[in-house]
Structure 1
Amino acid sequence: MDLIVTRSRALLDQRGAGSIGFYTSGQLFLEEYYSLAVLARAGIGTPHLDGNTRMCTSTAAEALKESFGSDGQPGSYDDLDHTDVLAMFGHNMAETQPVQWMRVLDRLDGTDPPRLVCVDPRPTPAARRATVHLAPRGGTNVALLNALLREIIRLGRVDHAYIEKHTVGFDELTKMVEPCTPSWAQDICDVPAARVCEAAEILGGADRLLSTVLQGVYQSHQATAAAVQINNLHLIRGMLGKPGAGVLQMNGQPSAQNTRECGANGDLPGFRNWENDDHVADLARVWNVEPTTIPHYGPPTHAMQMFRYAEQGSIGMLWISGTNPAVSLPELSRIRSVLSQDGLFTVVQDLFLTETAQLADVVLPAATWGEKTGTFTNADRTVHLCDKAVEPPGRARPDLDIFLDYATRMDFRDKDGGPLLHWHDAETAFEAWKKCSAGRPCDYTGLSYALLRGGSGIQWPCTAQAPRGTERLYTDGITWADPDTCEAYGKDLVTGAPVSVVEYRSLNPHGKAVLKAAEYLPPHEEPDESHPFHLTTGRTLYHFHTRTKTGRAPQLNAAAPDVWVEASARDAQALGCHEGDLMEVTTPRGALRARLRVTDIRPGLLFVPFHYGYWDTPAGSRPAAGTPGRAANETTITDWDPVSKQPLFKTAAAALRLVERGDGTSAPAPTTAASAPTDPDSAPATAGGRAAYASQAAVAEENDSEGSAQ
């Protein structure tokens, strides 16, 4: 820590606050994110603070801001129990939120099952159970959604009273989607026009419509534009604020919502508007600093731009906590080059010696959940308390302790000379955050550690007026879209150009929801003769992100031990390839090698799970330079959505070729969920085995054994 502080002070003296950047996670506790935001924004004074939520959930936040003026999930997980139509847009819930999927299965197998509409190019469990499954061509989500909106409007399935009272922009939306017929969408999306009509009938006829959205929308072309059209669907149908009727713009990480609330994701804490001087002054009051201390002269720096600044040399120190960009960011050869620069001082704070940690100058061993105390918030605004169960091993320390240690050594002070971070543990940090959240959409003032203990969580806003929390937002109109209170004035959905406060006041003087239309534009990179396939990446049930933890769990590793590439039976036959053959996937950025899994994925599309790093094993060695690795992000493009700045992991042009014939063994892909082979006899079924089971007797025997040993 002495070395980190010495380097920090030298950079501040020589090059200023803009020479230091922080890149964090979606997996810390609220108290840690808030402490990081305070020390970065008001201590260092840097605009360079973002989270890997930029990879997974920034589009969700941006879409909510565009439609409702502020982040904050309108719906509740309990809406799954009440809806009569469930629509999943680019959301493979069975593998990305399997606990939620169990809840959906209860409904689907119950006495009053909802109809299910699934939009996904892969044969996910949701797709197999769907009333209507739409499998669009990559990068065409906006075209498909515009066609669905057009049909719902044409059929008259809109709530005109709700639209008149609570929204602006309906005429512009109607005009934009009018040419977007099902036949037009069929030509662009390669989805039958009849299926588009059928889906529109179901969505338009729902009494209680619930939509969930995830990476198939967020990591694809025109991400925010597409997510906003899903909000539009709910607004024109008046499907908000009542049981079973809502939208869940989901998160891909357990505490990504906290990153956004606390301002560790590139925004200001408490969903404040960095362009609103009154909001900045209010935050300065909470922190007891001058407003000029908080950088707000331009938009906060997003992660992709931070790595560009590091590449150019203007960022001289990058502090990475709880994330592994050497596997998770696009175009990995470039990211490795950036992190390996002599001129970049890299600090990595993590549990294991990840691929990123192996490129760092300093590694700080951090505690994980269960080894520390703190709160985290689900996507539906439910706040939970996690109490420490065991001490962290060795010299590992909670992330909060690390940040507080750094702030103390840097001697960060408020304008009266007191400590800038005046809290000393998780509970006092939580109390400080409550003051910061007061009066904002994510108001925590009615919560406490005592209230959160022993229950199953409480949804914010939780105040004196709502002491048990708030199950759903917008039950009586739109709350935070007024020009004086909104978190953002919005952006052009095509170019990303910011909307000025004057424009926003003119458009929405009374703070209603905005029905923002978007024209469809083709993806920036399309298949051609040399790269004839679309390539998409994603997750599998048995691993989380870059396998920092799941890759070290023997059962999970055995279920999916190595990377694979999925192709349709038609494409495999055209190439003369079979299950288990070693293939090479190539894009203009790079290549990877993986065994072939033949599935019912849509023809022309390849899928590769992104969990697997450059190394063969979590503790293994690198292949020789220039050798195709196994990381999906060797191939993905350095491109991002113009509004949310979220990278486009779902749209790349790729080639596929045979490297060598398989020896009769199958690809290392699980046979469950979307990776199930077309021929079930071509691969052994994935099963847990006896080691996956636990019983009271086995636990008692283990405890007795430990007691005897002690």
Structure 2
Amino acid sequence: MARETKSTCPYCGVGCGVVIESDGDQITGVRGDPDHPANFGRLCSKGSTLHLTASAPITHQARLLHPMRRAHRGERPTRVSWDEAMGVAVETFVRTIREHGPDAVGFYLSGQLLTEDYYVFNKLAKGLIGTNNVDTNSRLCMSSAVAGYKMTLGADAPPNCYEDIDHAQCIFIAGSNTAWAHPVLFRRIEDAKAANPSLKIICCDPRRTETAGIADLYLPIQPGTDVMLLHGMLHVMLWEGWVNYAYIAAHTTGFDELKNTVRECTPDLVAQTCGIRKEDLFKATAMFATSATTLSLYCQGLNQSSSGAAKNAALINLHLATAQIGKPGAGPFSLTGQPNAMGGREVGGMANLLSAHRDLADPAHRAEVAALWGVPTVPDKPGKTAVEMFQAAADGQIKALWIACTNPAQSMPDQATVRRALERAEFVVVQEAFATTATCEFADLLLPATTWGEKTGTVTNSERRVSRVRPAIAKPGGTRHDWAIAAEFGHRLEKKLRPGLATLFPYSLADEELGAQAVWNEHRESTRGRDLDITGMSYALLDDTPLQWPMRAGESQGKARLYEDGVFPTDDGKARFANVAYRPLAEVRESRYPFSLNTGRLRDQWHGMSRTGTIGRLFGHVAEPSVQMHPQDLLRLRLADGDLVQVTSKRGSIVVPVQASGEVALSQAFIAMHWGPEFLGGCSSTGQRLAGVNALTTSAYCPSSKQPELKHAAVKIIKAELPWSLLGAAWLPDDDALRARAELQQVMRMLPFASCVPFGRDRAGVLFRAAAHEAPDDELIARIEQLLGLASPDTMRYADRRKGQRRAMRLVRHGNDAHLDAFLLAGDTSAQAWIKTLLQDELPAQSYGRMLLVPGATAPVAVAPRGKQVCTCFNVTDAEIANQLAAVAGSDDTRLAAVQSALKCGTSCGSCMPELKRMVRAVAPQDSSFAK
């Protein structure tokens, strides 16, 4: 029976409300919830395709549906019962704890878990086992923001709400490609700019992203120089008399010490260090300090740094100095990267935190938590944070690892160390919804968890708004909710570790809604009297509408903005200026590693792509892995667009195609964070597996936040001398496509370079690339052909073993013509553009016949690529947009409206609007050329 269920999107921290459409056990559609105050019905390209990533049969191929166990490393896991799985886990953890102590185990969790999941794991580790070795991938995302807020304002509490965008007169966007990382929020910025043309927007980022396109002023600072820039802005504010001394005196401390530090940050020094013009420094400072209301939006560019806490604090210093805080349209607003990183912070689900923003170092706070949980004490020794945890496992100190809802074999920096940790750990539990993640390969025990559309609980978004997550369909197979898995493990474990005592996990496992609510009520009680007090909330109230904290008992609504009265959660009620020093990058460029590598998000992909990577349409905008470099750097290195290059840091090396990009500055490079070993692989000359982009990144971290510097690594880039190449592509049935991709991942490990990605909107396609020093044996190529459906009798073939060339094509009849259904080019791939176009655009191919098999055959005039996809919703390309724009004169708004009317691009999710507007500005009437 068809039904609709309100829930929350599982992607970024905007926390958009969604309406899930389902029929029986099948999710059939999704749309934005018009009543949800985070998005008012809008969704981005990722959110609007959620139903496709949750639909069968893809779900049942990619999903982990039953507990699986490996008797020995390297073997295929076999299915076991939940009873056996739990028994093995309990027996191993008990033995490890008794032989080596509680700190010999570690839990690595995820900002995609629900608050209820987080809470039970935190209680399990700190309350029952007695270790603070519980950390999350939020350490890679938001821990510097946490440290910055606590260092200055006294608590980890973003003071703003999304409505502040509507009231701001100046928006300072620092280290955030909001247009791609938080598209729905960026739409709100676009709306604010349209409603108030006098709104000034500053974008500060080493890379000229789509976000910079909306800026009145773009500051292309050198990587890692944010603190120098922000101190320089405060220097100018002091010089020009733009600070608010009355506010400083009444509501802050520590300003005199900070003044002494920023006195040295002169405009000349700032311009030289940051690589910007002095005029732009003055202009940015004036906009920030003299606007009636200034709002800062910032994300990983400030967070993922060895100076992450300092960067966050230096920006908050500017708001305190100018009194740009505690009023509509003003304040330092950290944009959360994951859907429930905030919820994890609220329950204390990290190695240095306790429930409800309590500090682990405070004996009184530890006593409060122990009393709430009914245990004698909680451990006082700080636990291992993410990087430290895997280093400890690699060194043999942590013997057992429990990993839930995250993929460290893709997402953690310094993959060589991470993989050594996963291999050396004596017992690895991976609690996952998806069987396809790289980390699953290292698991001794795989536990199947529910995912979006099946889970029940709560999440908290960037503006402190708590929303309900509700199940639209029943749990598939033998999956269980994450909190329930942890609770049952806890039940069994406490019988061994504290027999005869009352359970620490009194939550119903039979009635999952009741059990989740009991967990949440316990968490709610832990916040009583704290800065994030939510004792006025309940599941019943949240079912009616999402609510912001704090919302104390007796209050009818939460607080939209914090610190309006100028009182802060510090001992004296005053905010503290942070006297932080500028420090260079952990790893500076030098002669052997002359390029700065930056990582970041793609518009249509999410993290390790365990969900978004299952459907081809989300690869339309960016189809394959690449490293982007400035065109002049390509010329200098004698590289051409598409050449394979070897990108090497002090930790590892990968091979990837190079792409010219005007977004990237000289001596810099960019690789999207999503390209892990599931999609980009290969092996070195010594046979070592290449592990995606994070084979390159450094685990050096901020001393305050312990967040690693994922945003910068010094690398060298040289042409990869791999003259033999291969390209294969095929349309396959859904089941076969997923199976082919899984098996091609194994093939990828046998070649110096390989990538494998899906494509297609309404059909499942697989695209496989490879390169080597010389042609591999025929058996390997035959294996690739078989996986691409080219082993049938109707396959056309050509082979020249002497030249290392091999070609295979298969045509299928469609009406009166035949279409290319699969192909493989090996040895000579020069015809790839037009042959790939024939297949992917499903053009008639019968007339080309055996010409498809001729090496070096030139492209027929009739076969031209459609261009690069801009609009995912309606599959509109840049060439189509440019042609339409060339025929329309008038203002930018008139031409934009004409394009949208003709092609519909930008009229659905709107994620393509920044790129579409850029094209409107770039393509003149009667000029169909488009400078990318």
Identity %: 34
Please give the alpha-carbon distance, in whole angstroms, between the structure 2 residues aligned to 1:314 and 1:478: 44
Alignment match of 1:295 (pick from 356, 370, 379): 379
Alignment match of 1:458 (pick from 514, 539, 547): 547
Contact 1:58 1:645 in 2 (8 A): yes
Alignment match of 1:285 (pick from 351, 371, 389): 371
Contact 2:143 2:705 in 1 (8 A): yes
Please give the alpha-carbon distance, in whole angstroms, between the structure 1 residues aligned to 2:478 and 2:441: 18
Amino acid at match of 1:427: Q
Deviation of the 1:683 alpha carbon: 6.1
Residue equivalent to 2:431: 349
Alignment match of 1:562 (pick from 599, 607, 624): 624
Judged with a 3 Å threshold, the aligned counterparts in structure 2 of structure 1 residues 537 and 65 are, in CA distance, closer, same or farther, namely same
2:718 is the alignment partner of 1:657: yes
Contact 1:221 1:651 in 2 (8 A): no
Alignment match of 1:120 (pick from 200, 205, 211): 205
Judged with a 3 Å threshold, the aligned counterparts in structure 2 of structure 1 residues 520 and 689 are, in CA distance, closer, same or farther, namely closer
Deviation of the 1:418 alpha carbon: 1.6
Deviation of the 1:530 alpha carbon: 1.6
Contact 1:579 1:682 in 2 (8 A): no
Q: Return 5+ residue gaps in structure 1 as ranges.
A: 483-509, 669-680, 695-710
Residue equivalent to 1:371: 454
The one-character-per-residue Cα deviations of 1:524-574 (angstroms, maximum 9, x if unpaired) are 321112211111111111111111111112211343343211111221221
2:655 is the alignment partner of 1:589: no
Deviation of the 1:454 alpha carbon: 3.0
Residue equivalent to 1:506: none
The one-character-per-residue Cα deviations of 1:330-354 (angstroms, maximum 9, x if unpaired) are 111221121012x421000111121
SS in 2 for 1:592: strand
SS in 2 for 1:77: coil
Alignment match of 1:446 (pick from 523, 529, 536): 536
Deviation of the 1:109 alpha carbon: 2.2
Contact 2:180 2:601 in 1 (8 A): yes
Amino acid at match of 1:615: E
Alignment of structure 1 residues 162-173 onto 2, 5 Å: 162-173=247-258
Residue equivalent to 2:360: 274
2:872 is the alignment partner of 1:688: yes
The count of residues paired between Structure 1 and Structure 2 equals 647
The one-character-per-residue Cα deviations of 1:214-245 (angstroms, maximum 9, x if unpaired) are 11111124111111011101111111111101
Alignment match of 2:392 (pick from 305, 309, 315): 309
Deviation of the 1:154 alpha carbon: 1.4
2:288 is the alignment partner of 1:203: yes
Deviation of the 1:651 alpha carbon: 2.0
Judged with a 3 Å threshold, the aligned counterparts in structure 2 of structure 1 residues 623 and 288 are, in CA distance, closer, same or farther, namely same
Please give the alpha-carbon distance, in whole angstroms, between the structure 2 residues aligned to 1:423 and 1:441: 26
Contact 2:391 2:418 in 1 (8 A): no
Alignment match of 1:610 (pick from 673, 679, 688): 673
Deviation of the 1:627 alpha carbon: 5.7
SS in 2 for 1:340: helix
Bigger strand fraction: 2
The one-character-per-residue Cα deviations of 1:630-660 (angstroms, maximum 9, x if unpaired) are 6111111121011100000122111111226
Judged with a 3 Å threshold, the aligned counterparts in structure 2 of structure 1 residues 603 and 104 are, in CA distance, closer, same or farther, namely same
Contact 1:160 1:236 in 2 (8 A): yes
Amino acid at match of 2:187: M
Amino acid at match of 1:569: P
Contact 1:169 1:515 in 2 (8 A): yes
Residue equivalent to 2:695: 634
Judged with a 3 Å threshold, the aligned counterparts in structure 2 of structure 1 residues 392 and 554 are, in CA distance, closer, same or farther, namely farther
Amino acid at match of 1:526: V
2:501 is the alignment partner of 1:417: yes
Deviation of the 1:158 alpha carbon: 1.2
Residue equivalent to 2:323: 238
Residue equivalent to 2:560: 471
Please give the alpha-carbon distance, in whole angstroms, between the structure 2 residues aligned to 1:289 and 1:630: 43
2:437 is the alignment partner of 1:358: no
Residue equivalent to 1:76: 161
SS in 2 for 1:418: coil
Judged with a 3 Å threshold, the aligned counterparts in structure 2 of structure 1 residues 522 and 690 are, in CA distance, closer, same or farther, namely closer
Residue equivalent to 1:385: 468
Please give the alpha-carbon distance, in whole angstroms, between the structure 1 residues aligned to 2:400 and 2:459: 28
Alignment of structure 1 residues 97-112 onto 2, 5 Å: 97-112=182-197
Amino acid at match of 1:658: K
Contact 1:90 1:119 in 2 (8 A): yes
Deviation of the 1:182 alpha carbon: 1.5
SS in 2 for 1:88: strand
SS in 2 for 1:247: strand
Alignment match of 1:536 (pick from 587, 598, 603): 598
Deviation of the 1:436 alpha carbon: 0.9
Please give the alpha-carbon distance, in whole angstroms, between the structure 1 residues aligned to 2:253 and 2:154: 12
Judged with a 3 Å threshold, the aligned counterparts in structure 2 of structure 1 residues 67 and 532 are, in CA distance, closer, same or farther, namely same
Deviation of the 1:148 alpha carbon: 1.0
Judged with a 3 Å threshold, the aligned counterparts in structure 2 of structure 1 residues 9 and 235 are, in CA distance, closer, same or farther, namely same
Please give the alpha-carbon distance, in whole angstroms, between the structure 1 residues aligned to 2:458 and 2:499: 29
Residue equivalent to 2:173: 88
Aligned-pair Cα RMSD in Å: 2.3
Please give the alpha-carbon distance, in whole angstroms, between the structure 1 residues aligned to 2:413 and 2:268: 35
Residue equivalent to 1:433: 523
Deviation of the 1:272 alpha carbon: 0.6
Please give the alpha-carbon distance, in whole angstroms, between the structure 2 residues aligned to 1:445 and 1:166: 28
Residue equivalent to 2:145: 60
The one-character-per-residue Cα deviations of 1:263-313 (angstroms, maximum 9, x if unpaired) are 11221111112222111111111111112xx111x3232111111211121
Please give the alpha-carbon distance, in whole angstroms, between the structure 2 residues aligned to 1:621 and 1:575: 23
Alignment match of 2:131 (pick from 24, 41, 46): 46
Residue equivalent to 1:498: none
Residue equivalent to 2:569: 480
Contact 1:310 1:344 in 2 (8 A): no
Residue equivalent to 1:697: none
Please give the alpha-carbon distance, in whole angstroms, between the structure 2 residues aligned to 1:686 and 1:344: 47
Please give the alpha-carbon distance, in whole angstroms, between the structure 2 residues aligned to 1:622 and 1:421: 46
Residue equivalent to 2:706: 645
Judged with a 3 Å threshold, the aligned counterparts in structure 2 of structure 1 residues 523 and 622 are, in CA distance, closer, same or farther, namely closer
Contact 2:621 2:869 in 1 (8 A): no
Amino acid at match of 1:205: T
Amino acid at match of 1:560: V
Deviation of the 1:25 alpha carbon: 0.2
Q: Return 5+ residue gaps in structure 2 as ranges.
A: 1-85, 509-514, 724-828, 837-864, 877-902, 905-932
2:416 is the alignment partner of 1:333: yes
SS in 1 for 2:295: strand
SS in 1 for 2:180: helix
Deviation of the 1:416 alpha carbon: 9.1
SS in 2 for 1:212: strand
Deviation of the 1:389 alpha carbon: 0.9
Bigger relative contact order, structure 1 or 2 (CA pairs below 8 A, ≥6 apart): 1
Deviation of the 1:36 alpha carbon: 0.7
Deviation of the 1:691 alpha carbon: 7.8
Alignment match of 2:116 (pick from 1, 6, 31): 31
Amino acid at match of 1:609: A
Deviation of the 1:86 alpha carbon: 0.3
Please give the alpha-carbon distance, in whole angstroms, between the structure 1 residues aligned to 2:202 and 2:228: 17
Amino acid at match of 2:709: L
Contact 1:289 1:415 in 2 (8 A): no
Contact 1:137 1:189 in 2 (8 A): yes
Structure number with greater Rg is 2
Please give the alpha-carbon distance, in whole angstroms, between the structure 2 residues aligned to 1:438 and 1:468: 16
Please give the alpha-carbon distance, in whole angstroms, between the structure 2 residues aligned to 1:573 and 1:691: 33
Contact 2:168 2:199 in 1 (8 A): yes
Q: Name which of structure 1's ranges 99-108 and 110-119 shifts more when overlaid on structure 2.
A: 110-119
SS in 1 for 2:359: coil
Residue equivalent to 2:269: 184
Contact 1:571 1:604 in 2 (8 A): yes
SS in 2 for 1:559: coil
Deviation of the 1:682 alpha carbon: 12
